[in-house]
Amino acid sequence: MVEIKTAEQIAKMREAGLVVAAIHAATREAAVPGATTKDLDEVARKVIAEHGAKSNFLGYGGFPATICTSVNEVVVHGIPDEKTVLKDGDIISIDAGAIVGGWHGDAAFTAFVGTGHAPELIELSRVTEESMWAGIAAVKNGNRLVDISKAIEGYIRRQPRPATGKYGIIEDYGGHGIGSEMHMDPHLLNYVSRKRGKGPKLVPGFCIAIEPMVSLGTARTHVLEDDWTVLTDDMSWSSHWEHSVALTEEGPLVLTAVDGGKAKLAEYGVTAAPDPLA
């Protein structure tokens, strides 16, 4: 069952989304050489407290932190700690969430630590982010879930191949419904699978977290003994981008983007829905 939200519920999710955006801004600034991933987690905790929100990551399935900090070959679910010190040239994907009034926000981004990044890493992040926006642009009334998957995969496949030979679209993890819980039906693949069919039809009130994860090598991953940290099998570096999106009567609203997705969606010829908090 897909949870369909009212306009009032979407407004609450927008509040949660703006807290997530504030976490992103603060942790992006703090992701500098010499900082530990625990330092970034402390920054996120302070932002959540300042906004009177709650963390939806801390304690989720036993997860011990407020954000996920995934460095270099770590795809997703990296646990912040004091041992992981960021170095010049690293990349880090920060996944963050918040709860306001019982409603959830969830988003992720990839940051560049310091300087000296190889061009293929910069392009990897760009391709992953743009594939997310291509997926968001497919959130239209009457489309189906598979249209989002098709847009994400299609964008990635159309890009020139990196020096490593290919982009690996991570297969074991993907997007998800979001609302009164952080992870809900439906599960969103970042590629098209004939086995999964077309999925549910997109209607106003439909909310989805769209999150492509792409590596510079394999699509295969494994999980460390901590039962959380996910790495690429070939240790190729990866990027992770995510936004939570609501479909309204007036179009898509990117709940976790400061401008509601207005600027980026315009590049795809899509008009973002008005911000209910404006």
- Given a contact cutoff of 8 angstroms between Cβ atoms, the answer to whether 135 and 210 are in contact is yes
Nearest to 111, CA basis, from 90, 127, 131: 90
**Alpha-carbon gap, residue 143 to 259, rounded angstroms:** 24
CB-based contact 155:134 (threshold 8 Å): yes
Residue 131 DSSP class: H
Q: How many residues does the chain have?
A: 278
Q: Is residue 276 part of a domain?
A: no
Q: What is the DSSP string of 99-119?
A: EETTEEEEEEEEEE-SS---H
45 part of a folded domain: yes
Instruction: Kindly state whether residue 186 falls inside one of the protein's structural domains.
Output: yes
pLDDT at 273: 98
Encoded tokens for 221:
């991953």
Q: Is 15 within the bounds of a domain?
A: yes
**Closest by CA position to 95, among listed 74, 113, 118:** 74
- Does some domain include residue 1? no
**Is residue 79 scored above 80 in pLDDT?**
yes
Q: What is the extent of the structural domain holding 118?
A: 7-267
Is residue 2 in some structural domain?
A: no
What pTM did the predictor assign?
A: 0.97
Please say whether the beta carbons of 58 and 49 come within 8 A.
no
| Tens-digit pLDDT profile for residues 184-236 | 999 999 999 877 789 999 999 999 999 999 999 999 999 999 999 999 999 99
**Contact assessment for residue 109 and residue 44, using Cβ atoms and an 8 Å cutoff:** no
CATH of the domain at 116: 3.90.230.10
Q: What is the reported pLDDT for 196?
A: 75
The whole-number average pLDDT for the span 57-73 is: 98
Region of 177 on the Ramachandran plot (φ > 0 left; ψ -120 to 50 alpha; else beta): beta
- In this prediction, residue 1 carries a pLDDT of 84
Residue 2 above 90 pLDDT?
yes
Q: Which residues make Cβ contacts (< 8 Å) with residue 265, sequence separation at least 6? A: 133, 136, 137, 252, 254, 271, 272
How many domains are there within the chain? 1
- CB of 201 closer than 8 Å to CB of 265: no
Tokens of 116: 């000296």
The first and second tokens of residue 153, run together, are 């995969």
Answer with the residue of higher pLDDT: 1 or 24.
24
Confidence at 160, pLDDT banded by 50, 70, 90: very high
